[in-house]
Amino acid sequence: MKDYVVTELLSSIELDFLEGELWEATQHISEINSLIMAPKNICKKLELDEKSCWQLCCAAVLDYSRPLKNKKERVNNFKKLIIEYDLGYK
């Protein structure tokens, strides 16, 4: 993720890894007790709130690199899950 902030490039293997990590997080969201915040500089570069978690950063990178039908779809979907499961993101 830190490499992406500098270069805005990740290999397809790295993007596949991020997709897998985000998928795992969404599938097991009910088992997560807390989220780890990402560094402010990474959040800022990805145009996220400075108190965003790593999973939201992952979603943002994927939204930019492998966009779905709607812009920021992964970010918005994960934010909804965080709120639904009361994991601290407001």
Tell whether the model's pLDDT for residue 21 goes beyond 90: yes
Q: Is 0.85 surpassed by the pTM of this model?
A: yes
* 8-state DSSP, 30: G
Q: 27-53: per-residue pLDDT in tens?
A: 999 999 889 999 999 999 999 999 999
Who wins on pLDDT, 4 or 79?
79
Angular region, 73: left φ>0, alpha ψ -120 to 50, beta rest? alpha
